[in-house]
């Protein structure tokens, strides 16, 4: 019970409270600043493990897909190849193994395998995927932006004003209206969303720190 329940709860309490308390002290308060700094460094390491967890998950699900020859299994194979190619050469470059000077270019300007994959494969593929959005947005705007009711009309008018206000031919007439829309109605709505989400995150964090929310421990109901 101590290892499965009380110790994790105690660690969570400390990991949650220390940064909060440290926030209210100046740099010379080493009694709290030092453990806080240690926790922050530790968090970077933990996030590295989260990345590893993601890799394991991708491997498991895609290997299963290839084994069962599910629809699109060839794409899964390409995905795994890409992940291991970049992962192996990236790690080897970072550790300067096999004569690699890093993950950038060799001194003569020739790209390392990681840099080659990044510049000539990853970058154009990602750019292409995002660029395709322009075509689909145009098609979706044609079909979806209709003066059906009041809400749809407001949305349509706002969208057209912002689109015109953000281009040279329209900013003379619509620029100030667009800026006002961004600052006042949009600013007010965004602020409400941000404050609401922050309050929600703070209350959930408090529940976790105080041990009220325990689902992350993966305990049975009887425990």
Q: Which residues of the chain form contacts with another protein (CB under 8 A)?
A: 23, 37, 40-41, 43-44, 47-48, 51, 96, 102-104, 115, 118-119, 122-124, 126-127, 129-131, 134-135, 137-139, 141-143, 145-147, 156, 159-160, 163-164, 166-172, 175, 179, 182-183, 186-187, 190-191, 193-194
Choose among 53, 19, 23, 38: nearest CA to 205.
19
Q: Tell me how far apart the alpha carbons of residues 118 and 17 are, in angstroms, rounded to a whole number.
A: 41
**Phi-psi category of 111—alpha, beta or left, where left has phi over 0 and alpha has psi -120 to 50?**
beta
Nearest approach, Cβ of residue 93 and another protein (Å) = 10
Q: Are the beta carbons of 59 and 67 closer than 8 angstroms?
A: no
Nearest approach, Cβ of residue 98 and another protein (Å) = 15
- Nearer of residues 193 and 199 to another protein, judged by Cβ: 193
Cα end-to-end distance, the chain, whole Å:
8
- Nearer of residues 110 and 222 to another protein, judged by Cβ: 110
Nearest approach, Cβ of residue 6 and another protein (Å) = 26
As given in the structure block, the two tokens for residue 219 are: 């305990």
């Amino acid at each position: 019970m101590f290892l499965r329940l009380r110790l994790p709860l105690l660690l969570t309490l400390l990991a949650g409270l220390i940064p909060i308390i440290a926030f209210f002290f100046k740099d010379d308060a080493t009694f709290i600043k030092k453990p806080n700094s240690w926790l922050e460094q530790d968090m970077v390491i933990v996030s590295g493990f989260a990345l590893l967890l993601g890799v394991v998950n991708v491997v498991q699900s895609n290997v299963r897909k290839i084994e069962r020859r599910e629809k699109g299994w060839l794409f899964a194979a390409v995905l795994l190849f890409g992940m291991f190619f970049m992962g192996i050469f990236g790690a080897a470059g970072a550790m300067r193994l096999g004569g690699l000077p890093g993950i950038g270019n060799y001194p003569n300007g020739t790209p390392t395998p990681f840099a080659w994959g990044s510049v000539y494969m990853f970058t154009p593929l990602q750019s292409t995927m995002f660029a395709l959005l322009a075509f689909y947005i145009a098609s979706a705007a044609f079909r979806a932006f209709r003066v059906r009711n009041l809400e749809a009309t407001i949305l349509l008018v706002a969208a057209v004003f912002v689109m015109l206000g953000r281009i040279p031919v329209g900013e003379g007439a619509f620029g100030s209206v667009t800026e006002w829309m961004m600052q006042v109605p949009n600013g007010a709505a965004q602020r409400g969303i941000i404050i609401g989400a922050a309050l929600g995150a703070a209350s959930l964090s408090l529940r976790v720190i105080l041990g009220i929310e325990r689902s992350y421990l993966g305990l049975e109901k009887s425990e």
